[in-house]
Structure 1
Amino acid sequence: MDATETRKYWRHPCFPDLGLFKARFTQHRYELHTHPTYVIALITSGCERIRIGRHSIVAPAGTIAVVNPEVWHDGEQGADEGWAYRTFYPSVPLMTAIAREVGGADAPVFSRPIIEDSDLAAALATAHEGSTSRDATKGEASLLVALRHLIVRHGDWSGRTEEIDSSGSRQRFSLYEDLVESELGSQLDLQRLADAARVTRFQVIRDFKKAIGLTPAAYIRDRRLRRASSLIEQGLGLADAAIAAGFADQSHLSRSFRATRGMTPGMYRRGGLSAPKGDACARKFAARW
C-alpha cells in the first residue's frame, strides 16, 4: 500500500448490513471483481476511471458511480492526482425494503452506471458523514433520504410512487410527541415512530417537517437536552443525566449542549448551584422594601 493513500471501512450503526468506505487513491488500481451488495460511490475529488459490466466510464468529482450486485467492475485513477470517494455497500434486502416502502415491488436496478445529480450527491455526502454521528436518528434518516432519492429518481422504476399523506401530520405528531417523551431514555429510531402512527418512515420525516419544520433527529435531541437540563438542575450527576436522557455518554451530551446552549453542562450546573435559593432571594427582596 502507498503510504500517501488513505482508506477506512466501517459499518453503519443503524444498518449493520451496510458497509461504508472512504478513501483517497493515487496509484491503487482495482482488478475486476464483484460484490453481493450494491456499490454506490460518490466521487469527492479528482477522477476515477471505471469499467462496470460492458461500460467504461470516467467519473469526475461530484458524480455518483452505481454498480448493481454481482456485476463485474474495476477502478483506477482517471487523472494525475488520482481520486477520492465515499462509498456505500447496501445489501439487496435493505435496498428492496426501501424500494417497497416507497411503492416498489422488487430490488431496484440501475441501468446508468454514472449519475450526475447535485442534490443526490449532497444527500449522499450528508448520509456518509452522518454514519459516524452519535445521533442515531439523524444518521438513519439521512441514509434513508439519500437512498430513497437514488431509487425513485434513478432506478428503473416499475412501481408506483408512494402515496403521500399530508392531511394527518398534526394528529400524528401528537403520537410522536407522546412516544418521544415516554421513551427518551431508550433507543428511538424512525421505525418506532412509524409503527406508532402506522405510516412509513418517510411519512414520519414529512410529518415532522410539516408540523414543526424540524427533522425527527433535531426534535429528539432538543427533548433530550431539556430532560438532561432538568435532571442536572435536580442535582443528578452529569454522566447519569446524560444516560437517563438518552445520550450515549457524557461527552455526547457535552457536544450537544455546547452546540445549542453555548456552554458545557458543567457550566450550567455550576450556574445553578451558585444561584441564590428562592427563599433567600425573597428575604433579600423583602428587606429592601
Structure 2
Amino acid sequence: MHATETSRYWRHPCFPDLGLFKARFTRHRYELHTHPTYVIALITAGCERIRIGRRHVIAPAGTIAIVNPEEWHDGEQGADEGWAYRTFYPSVPLMAEFAGELGRDRAPVFSREIIDDHHLASALAAAHEGSTSQDAMKAEASLLAALGRLIVRHGDWNGQAEEVENAGSRRRFPVYEEMIESRLGSPLDLQRLADAAGVTRFQVIRDFKKTIGLTPAAYIRDRRLRRARLLIEDGLGLADAALAAGFADQSHLTRTFRAAHGMSPGMFRGAG
C-alpha cells in the first residue's frame, strides 16, 4: 500500500455479521472479486471507477455504489486524487431481517449500481461514524435508519438476474463450481475442469465467459480468497489458511487478499 493510502476494517458493535471499512486510496486497484454480502460504499472524496457485473460506472463523491451479493466487481481511482469511501458489508440474512421488518418478504435486490441520494448519503455517513460510538443505542438506531431508507427507497423487488443465453454453459457451470470447491487446496487446471464436464478446455473458457464474464483463473482465485476468509474467521492461522485455501504461502495470500479487499488478512483477522 502506498504511503498516502489508509484503510481500517471493523465489525459493527450491535450487528456482528456486518463489517465496516474506511479507506483512502490513490494508487490501489482492486482485482475482480465477489462477496457473499452486500457492498454499500459511500464515496466521501474524489471519484472511483468500478466494474460491477458487466457494467463500468463512475462513482463521484457523495454517491453510493451498490454491489449485490456474489456480483463481480473491481475498483480503481476515477480521478487523479484517488478516492475515499466508507463501506458497509451487511449479510443477506441481516438485510432480509431488516426488509421483513419493513413489510417485505425477502432480501432486496438493487438494480442501480450508483445511487445519488443526498439524504441517504448523510444517513450512511452518520451510521458509519456512529458504529464507533460508545452509545450502543445510537449505533443501532443510525444503522437501522440508513439501511431502512436504502431498502425502502432503492430496493428493486422485481429484479431478475440476467439470463444466460447459452443453456449448455448454464447447465455445465455447477459442475465446474463443484469441482473447484472440492479441490481448492489442490492444483487446478483447465483440463481437470474440462474432463469433469466432458468438454474441451476451449469450451470451459467460453462457458465461464458466457456465464459470469470472467476467466476460470479469476473465479478460482476468488473462491480461494473466500475459503481463506472463512478459515481465518474460524481462527486458523494465516499460514495454515493460505495453504488450506490453495495459495502457495502466506505471502501469496496476503498479496491476493490486499488486491481484492484493500486490506491485509491480518487486519481482517483483527476485526473478529
TM-score, L = length of structure 1: 0.54
1:140 matched to 2:144? The reply is: no
1 or 2 for the larger relative contact order (CA 8 Å, sep ≥6)? 2
Structure whose CA Rg is larger: 1
Q: Match for 1:38: what amino acid?
A: Y
Q: Which residue of 2 aligns with 1:69?
A: 69
The aligned residue for residue 40 of structure 2 is 40
Offset at 1:3? 1.4
Match of 2:212?
none
Residue type of the partner of 2:11? R
DSSP-derived class of the 1:98 partner = helix
Q: Say which SS state the counterpart of residue 157 (structure 1) adopts.
A: coil
Q: What residue number does 1:18 align with? A: 18
Q: Per-residue deviation at 1:157?
A: 3.3
How far apart in 2 are the matches of 1:40 and 1:33?
15
- What SS does the aligned partner of 1:97 have? helix
Letter in 2 for 1:24: R
C-alpha separation between the residues in 1 aligned to 2:154 and 2:64? 11
Q: How does 1:191-230 map to 2 (within 5 A)?
A: none
SS of the counterpart of 2:150? helix
> What is the correspondence of 1:72-83 to structure 2 with a 5 Å cutoff?
72-83=72-83
- 5+ unaligned residues in a row in structure 1: which ranges? 159-289
- SS of the residue aligned with 1:86? strand
**1:148 Cα shift?**
0.4
DSSP-derived class of the 1:57 partner: strand
Q: Which runs of 4+ in 1 moved over 2 A?
A: none
Aligned to 1:101: 101
**Deviations 1:198-256, CA, capped at 9 Å, x for gaps:** xxxxxxxxxxxxxxxxxxxxxxxxxxxxxxxxxxxxxxxxxxxxxxxxxxxxxxxxxxx
Structure 2: runs of 5 or more not aligned: 159-272
Q: 1:155 maps to which residue? A: 155
* CA distance, structure 2, for counterparts of residue 3 and residue 47 of structure 1: 19
2:1 counterpart of 1:4: no
Distance in 2 (CA, whole Å) between partners of 1:135 and 1:55 is 40
Q: Distance in 2 between matches of 1:76 and 1:28?
A: 7
CA distance in 2, matches of 1:155, 1:113: 11
1:74 to partner: Cα distance = 0.1
RMSD, aligned CA: 0.6
